Amino acid sequence: MGQAKRRSASLKGSTPTTADRKPAAAGRGRRRSGLPNPWLFGLVGLVALVALQLTLSAVAEARLPGEKFRSQGNVHVALGTATPPYNSDPPTSGWHTNELAPWGGHLEAQHDQGLLHNMEDGGVILWYPLGTPEENAAHVAALEDVARGFRLTVIAPRAEMPTRYALTAWQRLQRFDDLDPEGMRAFIAAYHGIDNHR
């Protein structure tokens, strides 16, 4: 009996056996299999934020008035320089002059290459069908009422328009069969004053 007590006492002071170590090892394993590394959460969050931003941008872009055209750049050329064809009619981006067309209403056609610089500088062009001087003057008066309060606008006639009116801004075009002050003002407000030098 005395020997059993001594053996028991000596066992208490001895190093733990493999069986004794298992719970501690299992405990360490459980700690490792807890939550994933924090950087993984950060990465997933970042990807979600980027996806949300892209989605919101696409939705906002889809709600803007007019049809969007691919940019043809903003290379400056001398007035009348031969260039590749523009991808819209009237044009909405591409080769243009260093000089702006005069702002305001015009009774005579203006060169596309000048008007494109106006659009690059945040201007909106209001196009009407080229007619007699009296018809042109009536169109200008009506479109000046539409554009009232917007400084960066040009009103100009154009030959062979597929619709009665068209409005253009950099990379944007909206056509109108009739005078539509509300729709036209919405187009002007969306793009007026946006700097497109990029």
pLDDT tens per residue, range 139-176: 999 999 999 999 999 999 999 999 999 999 999 999 99
pLDDT for res 147: 98
* Residue 48 domain flag: yes
Residues 79 and 35 in one domain: no
Taking the whole predicted model, whether its pTM rises above 0.85 is answered as no
* Residue 198 domain flag: no
Per the document, the length of the chain is 198
Q: Is the Cβ–Cβ distance between 143 and 164 less than 8 Å?
A: no
**Domain end among 39, 63, 87:** 63
Residues 30 and 77 in one domain: no
Q: What are phi and psi of 167, to 5 degrees?
A: -120, 135
Q: What are phi and psi of 193, to 5 degrees?
A: 85, 5
pLDDT for res 22: 53
pLDDT for res 55: 52
pLDDT for res 39: 75
Residues 89 and 19 in one domain: no
* Residue 90 domain flag: yes
Residues 44 and 136 in one domain: no
pLDDT for res 44: 73
Neighbouring C-beta atoms of residue 167, cutoff 10 Å: 28
Residue 159 CA, chain-centre distance (Å), reads 32
**Domain end among 12, 43, 63:** 63
Domain region containing 173: 68-191
pLDDT for res 63: 80
pLDDT for res 191: 98
Residues 55 and 78 in one domain: no
What dihedral do alpha carbons 87, 196, 145, 180 form, nearest 10°? 40
Residues 58 and 85 in one domain: no
**Domain end among 40, 63, 86:** 63
Residues 184 and 89 in one domain: yes
Of 176, 78, 86, 82, nearest in space to 126 by CA: 176
The mean of the pLDDT values for the chain is: 85
* Residue 197 domain flag: no
Residues 72 and 157 in one domain: yes
Intervals of the chain under pLDDT 70 = 1-36, 41, 48, 51-62
